[in-house]
Amino acid sequence: MESTLAPVAPTAIPVAPNVAWDKLADKVLAGVPLSAAEALSVLRCEDRELPALLAATYRVRYERWGNDVQLYYLRNAKSGLCPEDCGYCSQSKISDAEIPKYRWNDEETLLASARKAAETKARTFCIVASGRGPSDREVDHVVKVVKKIKETLPLNVCCCLGLLNPNQAEQLAEAGVDRINHNLNTSERFYPEICSTHTYEDRLDTLKAVRNAGMELCSGGIVGMGEADQDVVDLALALRELGVESIPVNFLHPIDGTPLEAVQKLNPRYCLKVLCLFRLANPQSEIRIAGGRELQLRWLQPQGLYAANSMFVSDYLTTKGQSPEDDYRMIEDLGFTVTGPGPETAAGIRAAEEAAAAQCGSHCESAGHCG
């Protein structure tokens, strides 16, 4: 009996995608900066090529960071009451979100949070405060707290206090603050779409003040606010131009009561491509999976660490994270290791090495020999 079925056309076998992504990783490892066109191709990678892209990106991650994962612990030291109109933020003046609102935590509350950070295996304690920027009195408060943390705990300290002037940045540097977090958040082109009370240039000015004061930069963005792929690329490349040492990549967590409450533009696969982009564009920088990790990456969270080498442990500013125990298990299941206590900035590492050398010299002198 003659078949009535139409003949099946032969399937075209494409060139293995791992070849293209491995070549791109080779270029990055050789010190060739990722181009804007290459960066865009990463974001627009077909889903079927995602495993190959992750594998290539992991090569770049491993070259600089091995299988280490650095944990950060965040304390919202001043919540709500912000005069700015950032559309993504539950603490802004235009937000109706039901969140805790309080003025600055006192010294003991912040010190207790720092101790909790050390207990949860965090290497860095982040002090975050809502507002346009701190008053001089608030900076004095942070300075006192940071000095006590540095005296008693093996923690790096990162502060996120809003817009800073040069004098404030210098005070924080002298107190021992290792890094200042001040996110660019998105591209210069898209910035007016998310905030009108300050500008992209205002944020750049703060980062310049921080750099001039001798501190390292922690600056990243939020993906999923309605921006175009090109905006994400522009942000990644702008952070490279600034030489940012630590880059937190947030994925929008749409919060009820904010202007972006109904925005849902992301899927876990795209989020992984974003992390690959930031790693390939900034191979020497710490890449941190930040807010929105649990919501937007969902079951693909572990795969994010093939690109990123850092994450927050416990909760965020006004949203909950998964438990530290779940984070530890996830890292262990990957065969990765939580980075132990110790300095993470170039200045901190130099100081530790100098202290160790001085201690060795003193010991050798008293013992009459060395080696």
**pLDDT grade for 9, boundaries at 50, 70 and 90:** very low
Q: Is 160 a catalytic residue?
A: no
**Catalytic-labelled residue, pool 45, 61, 75, 89:** 89
Question: Is 26 contained in some domain?
Answer: no
What's the domain count of the chain? 1
Question: Is 369 contained in some domain?
Answer: no
Question: Is 118 contained in some domain?
Answer: yes
**pLDDT grade for 14, boundaries at 50, 70 and 90:** very low
Gap between the Cα atoms of 183 and 78, Å rounded: 18
Q: Which residue segment(s) compose the domain that 344 sits in?
A: 61-351
For position 319, what pLDDT does the model report? Answer: 66
**Catalytic-labelled residue, pool 75, 123, 158, 203:** 158
Question: Is 152 contained in some domain?
Answer: yes
Q: How many C-beta atoms surround the C-beta of residue 352 within 10 A?
A: 12
Question: Is 312 contained in some domain?
Answer: yes
Q: Determine which of 161-175, 199-213, 291-305, 317-331 has the lowest per-residue pLDDT on average.
A: 317-331
Q: Is 126 a catalytic residue?
A: yes
> Is residue 165 predicted with pLDDT exceeding 70?
yes
Beta bridge partners of 158: 126, 179
What is the pTM (predicted TM-score) of this model?
Answer: 0.90
**Catalytic-labelled residue, pool 45, 61, 75, 82:** 82
Question: Is 129 contained in some domain?
Answer: yes
Q: Is 195 a catalytic residue?
A: no
Question: Is 229 contained in some domain?
Answer: yes
**Catalytic-labelled residue, pool 45, 75, 123, 126:** 126
Percent of the chain predicted with pLDDT > 90: 73
**Catalytic-labelled residue, pool 75, 179, 279, 288:** 288
User: Average per-residue pLDDT in the chain?
Assistant: 90
**Catalytic-labelled residue, pool 218, 271, 279, 293:** 218
CATH number at residue 68: 3.20.20.70
Gap between the Cα atoms of 295 and 59, Å rounded: 27
Q: What would the pLDDT profile of 308-359 be if each residue is shown by its tens digit?
A: 999 998 766 656 667 889 999 999 999 999 999 888 888 888 877 787 777 7
Question: Is 131 contained in some domain?
Answer: yes
